[in-house]
């Protein structure tokens, strides 16, 4: 790689930070960890075809819970990912042909937070992410002959990303959801809440966070990505606290490169919650668990290095230390 160290070791008070920095001093150890985590060490050649087929199967969600209508697809290019008891959906960028299935999945699973990492949107270029949500306040988007209606209630422009408060409405009675079932089970005991249950079936609030400052296979600005992950983590915790039953819907993370940038946000969001607990956190162990849960995550070294560098930025945001580590040397090492 041409570098023995990713960055110099400063003086830190946090034991977890010191351990992580000591490990990152030696780039060979970092690459060995990455290769072992992704199964690139001692992989039998005869198993490659099987692993590729298995990975392709695991990267599709079978939508069989509701009655299919003409034009509906059985599968969607996405995968459920669960780690540390938190549920997520990692998916590719929707196209003009299948973005209706994206909203079917969101409605069916009762999702309340959606994330988009696509830096470019286009309704004509098939190589780019289709703009599947309304981006202006008051704007509405009708999908599949008003089967779904997405309305933008509020737009907040932040540094590097935009937060949309949306309202999703469905007129299809065949679309039942896991959230609806859980809510029904908890509300049947109280007749006075029947009206609330019926109202929830008509429309639901949804937060969509669009980080638009990270093109594929590039090094992101951690001063932008860090606060974005921090805000996403806080919204997750808020949803968990507001849950009236035991069902917490998965968070949808969409990126144009599928298992490229998506797992970085997935793991770093879980990491941010661990950091804010003020107990301990282990970036490497968490990345290994998530890569085992979703084979194919962090298959590119740049994404693994982004996660390591982002951990220091999140630790600073979480109050572990006031010192911020410059990521320039890590990015230079990746480019070698």
Lowest-confidence range among 31-40, 70-79, 91-100, 228-237?
Answer: 31-40
In a domain, 14, yes or no: no
> Which of 59-68, 78-87, 222-231, 284-293 has the highest average model confidence (pLDDT)?
222-231
What DSSP state is assigned to residue 121? B
In a domain, 10, yes or no: no
Quote the domain boundaries for residue 284: 59-299+313-329
Q: What is the mean pLDDT of the chain?
A: 75
Query: Between 125 and 51, where is the model more confident?
Result: 125
Rg (CA), the chain: 21
The predicted model gives 275-302 an average pLDDT of 84
Q: What is the pLDDT of residue 22?
A: 53
Query: Between 170 and 179, where is the model more confident?
Result: 170
Alpha carbon of 228 to those of 104, 116, 136, 149, 225: distances in Å?
Answer: 26, 12, 21, 27, 5
In a domain, 109, yes or no: yes
In a domain, 136, yes or no: yes
Q: What is the pLDDT of residue 242?
A: 83
Q: How far is 162 from 46, CA to CA, in rounded Å?
A: 46
Q: What is the pLDDT of residue 20?
A: 56
> What's the pLDDT tens digit per position in 320-334?
766 545 444 444 444
Q: How far is 96 from 94, CA to CA, in rounded Å?
A: 7
In a domain, 34, yes or no: no
Q: How many domains does the chain have?
A: 1
- Looking only at the bridges linking them, the beta strands covering 86-91 and 251-254 are parallel
Judged by DSSP in three states, 145 sits in coil
151 within 8 A of 134, measured Cβ to Cβ? yes
The predicted model gives 243-252 an average pLDDT of 84
> What's the pLDDT tens digit per position in 90-102?
998 899 988 999 9
The model carries a pTM of 0.76
In a domain, 231, yes or no: yes
CATH number of the domain where residue 244 is located? 3.90.190.10
The predicted model gives 182-194 an average pLDDT of 44
Among residues 224, 245, 248, 223, the alpha carbon closest in space to that of 235 is found at 248
pLDDT-above-90 percentage for the chain? 34
In a domain, 31, yes or no: no
212 within 8 A of 162, measured Cβ to Cβ? yes
Lowest-confidence range among 134-138, 223-227, 308-312?
Answer: 308-312
In a domain, 2, yes or no: no
φ, ψ of residue 82 in degrees (nearest 5): -125, 130
């Amino acid at each position: 790689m041409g570098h023995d160290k990713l960055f110099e070791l400063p003086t830190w008070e946090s034991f977890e930070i010191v351990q992580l920095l000591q490990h990152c001093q030696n780039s060979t150890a970092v690459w060995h960890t990455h290769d072992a985590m992704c199964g690139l060490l001692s992989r039998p050649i005869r198993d490659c075809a099987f692993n590729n087929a298995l990975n392709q199967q695991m990267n599709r969600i079978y939508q069989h819970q509701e009655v299919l209508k003409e034009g509906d697809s059985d599968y969607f290019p996405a995968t459920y990912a669960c780690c540390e008891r938190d549920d997520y959906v990692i998916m590719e960028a929707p196209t003009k042909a299948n973005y209706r299935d994206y909203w079917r999945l969101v409605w069916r699973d009762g999702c309340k937070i959606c994330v988009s990492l696509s830096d470019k949107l286009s309704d004509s270029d098939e190589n780019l992410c289709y703009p599947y949500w309304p981006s202006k306040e008051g704007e509405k988007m009708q999908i599949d002959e008003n089967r779904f209606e997405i309305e933008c209630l509020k737009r907040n422009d932040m540094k590097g990303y935009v937060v949309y408060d949306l309202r999703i409405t469905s007129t299809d009675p065949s679309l039942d959801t896991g959230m609806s079932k859980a809510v029904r089970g908890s509300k049947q005991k109280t007749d006075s809440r029947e009206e609330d249950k019926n109202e929830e079936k008509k429309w639901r609030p949804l937060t969509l966070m669009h980080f638009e400052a990270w093109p594929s296979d590039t090094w992101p600005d951690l001063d932008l990505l860090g606060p974005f992950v921090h805000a996403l983590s806080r919204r997750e915790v808020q949803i968990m606290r507001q849950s009236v039953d035991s069902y917490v819907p998965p968070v949808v993370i969409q990126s144009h490169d599928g298992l490229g940038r998506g797992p970085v946000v997935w793991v770093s969001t879980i990491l941010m919650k661990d950091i804010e607990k003020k107990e301990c956190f282990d970036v490497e162990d968490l990345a290994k668990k998530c890569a085992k849960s979703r084979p194919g995550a962090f298959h590119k070294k740049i994404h693994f290095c982004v996660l390591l560098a982002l951990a220091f930025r999140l630790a600073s945001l979480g109050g572990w230390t006031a010192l911020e580590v410059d990521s320039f040397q890590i990015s230079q090492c990746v480019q070698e």
